[in-house]
Structure formats: C-alpha cells, structure tokens
C-alpha cells in the first residue's frame, strides 16, 4: 500500500512491511494480523501505515491509519 500519493515532491527512499498481531483486550487469541508499512523519505518525515493483512483492494481505500515520524515508536522500544 503506497502512502506517498499525497507527497508528489517527496523522494521516497524505501518501504518496509512488517506483519503485526495484537491480542484483543478480553481474549488470549490474537486479533487478525495487521501490516505496519514504514515509508522512508529523504525530504519528508517517515510514515507508518497500518492496515489489515487480509484487506481487499477495495478495503484498503478505507481501512488504514497513517502516522508521521515522531508520532510512533518501535514496539521493541516500548517493551
């Protein structure tokens, strides 16, 4: 899922996709897997977009959230 369509002047350096599974609040069973995609830019803050791994192309237009660098941290840094 590209997140740079709103940044026509940003030079995209690369992207890294990482599957993430989080336990539900009242369950020992993990929720569906999400993908955290990190988009790196030379001339703009990096972005992290999270979306369901099993989302269809139609779902991807509405089922995601993006945060700019400084608004997110690595999971292992918080453990």
8 A C-beta contact, residue 3 and residue 47: yes
42 domain-assigned: yes
Q: What pLDDT, on the 0 to 100 scale, is given for residue 78?
A: 79
Q: What pLDDT, on the 0 to 100 scale, is given for residue 74?
A: 75
1 domain-assigned: no
Q: What pLDDT, on the 0 to 100 scale, is given for residue 2?
A: 46
pLDDT tens digit sequence for 42-51: 998 999 898 8
2 domain-assigned: no
Residue 71 CB neighbour total at 10 angstroms: 10
- Report DSSP letters for 34-68, one per residue: EEEEEEEESSS--EEEEEETT--TTGGGTS-EEEE
Q: What pLDDT, on the 0 to 100 scale, is given for residue 5?
A: 43
Question: In 3D, which of 50, 56, 16 has the Cα closest to residue 31?
Answer: 50
17 domain-assigned: yes
- Mean pLDDT, the chain, integer: 75
The span from the CA of 51 to the CA of 59, in Å, is 9
Q: What pLDDT, on the 0 to 100 scale, is given for residue 25?
A: 62
Overall number of domains in the chain: 1
79 domain-assigned: no
Residue 54 belongs to what domain range? 12-70
77 domain-assigned: no
């Amino acid at each position: 899922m590209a997140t740079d369509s709103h940044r026509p002047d940003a030079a995209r350096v690369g992207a890294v996709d990482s599957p993430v599974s989080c336990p539900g609040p009242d369950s020992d069973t993990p929720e569906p897997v999400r993908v955290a995609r990190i988009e790196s830019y030379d001339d703009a803050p990096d972005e992290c977009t999270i979306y369901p791994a099993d989302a269809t192309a139609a779902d991807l237009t509405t089922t995601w959230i993006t945060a700019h660098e400084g608004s997110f941290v690595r999971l292992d840094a918080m453990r």
